Structure 1
Amino acid sequence: MAHISLGLDETHFPGITGLLRYRQETAAPLNSLADVLLHAPHPTLSPGERELIAAYVSGLNECTFCSSSHSAFAAAQLDGGMPLVRQVHIGPETAQVSAKMRALLGIAAAVQRGGREVTAELVGAARAAGATDLEIHDTVLIAAAFCMFNRYVDGLGTRLPLDPVAYEEAAQRVKQSGYVSTA
């Protein structure tokens, strides 16, 4: 049970889904932000790559709900599927991702530790690996947003789905429709 009464059956609305239903005034902008960051068209980063950044940061923050859900969302949209996502969680430096993605994940990890941990060296390494300013910007914003989302979910003590298959089912909905229609 969440730390506060959400006034609904939390077994049907685990993690952030229950929180969004509880406070619909904040659900709309939070879902819009997630949709823009992770699902909306992007000139160079695929939805799967953006979900991978979210999953990685959520794993670093030890947010089980967000790490599990966004890992499933990334796996559903990346050629390497869940094996690739697991590799990234174990360590991006040895995962079979591009040098650019490895550098962006390094920036995301720095943001997770604290915004001032992002150094000119990390940004320079990302640029040297082919990252654009937009990709660097969006990586920082995704990582920062997921620090907030993770703290929201864990700070209110939300429950996990009873069946882990729920993450895969949600992944198909998000892949098709994004976040705005999944509130």
Structure 2
Amino acid sequence: MSNAVAFPVRSSVTVELRDLEELAESTGLSCGLEWPQRPPLVALGAQSPATPHIELNSDEPGIRGLFSYSPETALPLKALSEVLLCRDSSLTRGERELIAAYVSALNQCRFCFFTHATFAAVRAPEGMTIVEQVCADLSTAPVSDKMRALLAIAGAVQQGGKTVSKAHIADARAAGATDNEIHDSVLIAAAFCMYNRYVDGLSTFAPDDPSVYVARAKQTGGYLAVMTDSP
């Protein structure tokens, strides 16, 4: 293959790798992104109108347009995403991105789902397939018992914080989840409910072409790094 992809790192520096098979072998990142060739098999509801509720003075889609509109709030929001999804953790970056994608799918937030599904897929051997399986039916998706329990907690948070039960926590602990992993799963889910409502509450536009999101996922190693990519 000749497709170029940038290996994600924790700074604004990217390393170009020309062979996707080499990338998958050397880093564990997946290039099985069949999803961009067809619509995702996830129910996301109707597309928002192309015109947002406020004038953003930017053609960037989704939260990227909102970040350009309000740099003062963009920096702390990006910093929160960086801490939740990119810092060193016993949960991989891909697992945390999967939680973000799952919650975004439950909220039917097109932009956030497309974005974080892609970030999860490039880090999973199964590519987009595993993301779609989780979103379609968590109970049968081929994930570890620990991830299934943490995703179930995230799904409960999406419904409402008080929906998280002692049984949810007991299941996660029985599957080997630590208190930090439970904490982070709850906070990722809560944060993405906020991001989803921010994006959709202002009626931002989400491109239907998934390749737009794939390109973004391959270019950045973190959320603070994209500050240099935005106006």
Shorter chain as denominator, the TM-score bin is over 0.9
Identity of aligned residues (%): 55
In the alignment, does 2:88 pair up with 1:41?
Answer: yes
Counterparts of 1:49 and 1:163, CA distance in 2: 24
Quote the residue 1:161 is aligned against: 207
Structure in which a larger fraction of residues adopt helix: 1
Q: Tell me the alpha carbon deviations over residues 16-59 of structure 1, each in whole angstroms, 9 at most, x when there is no partner.
A: 000001000000000000011111211x1000000000000000
1:52·1:71 contact (CA, 8 Å) conserved in 2? yes
1:53·1:108 contact (CA, 8 Å) conserved in 2? yes
Unaligned runs of 5+ in 1: none
Query: TM-score with structure 1 length normalisation?
Result: 0.94
Counterparts of 2:155 and 2:166, CA distance in 1: 15
In the alignment, does 2:142 pair up with 1:142?
Answer: no
Select which of 217, 222, 229 maps to 1:178: 222
Quote the residue 1:7 is aligned against: 57
Counterparts of 2:149 and 2:66, CA distance in 1: 33
Select which of 96, 101, 114 maps to 1:50: 96
Q: Tell me the alpha carbon deviations over residues 56-112 of structure 1, each in whole angstroms, 9 at most, x when there is no partner.
A: 000000101101110011001112210011100101111110000000000000000
Counterparts of 1:51 and 1:162, CA distance in 2: 20
1:59·1:89 contact (CA, 8 Å) conserved in 2? yes
Unaligned runs of 5+ in 2: 1-50
Alignment of 1:77-92 (within 5 A): 77-92=123-138
Q: What is the CA-CA distance between 1:162 and the residue it aligns to?
A: 5.8
**Could you tell me which amino acid in structure 2 is paired with residue 181 of structure 1?**
A
**Could you tell me which amino acid in structure 2 is paired with residue 149 of structure 1?**
Y
Quote the residue 1:103 is aligned against: 149
Quote the residue 2:66 is aligned against: 19
In the alignment, does 2:105 pair up with 1:59?
Answer: yes
Counterparts of 2:195 and 2:92, CA distance in 1: 21
Counterparts of 1:38 and 1:146, CA distance in 2: 11
Counterparts of 1:23 and 1:79, CA distance in 2: 37
Q: Secondary structure at the match of 1:6?
A: coil
1:14·1:158 contact (CA, 8 Å) conserved in 2? yes
Q: What is the CA-CA distance between 1:128 and the residue it aligns to?
A: 0.2
Quote the residue 2:11 is aligned against: none
Counterparts of 2:73 and 2:110, CA distance in 1: 22
Q: What is the CA-CA distance between 1:161 and the residue it aligns to?
A: 2.2
Q: What is the CA-CA distance between 1:163 and the residue it aligns to?
A: 3.2
Structure number, greater radius of gyration: 2
Aligned length: 177
1:40·1:178 contact (CA, 8 Å) conserved in 2? no
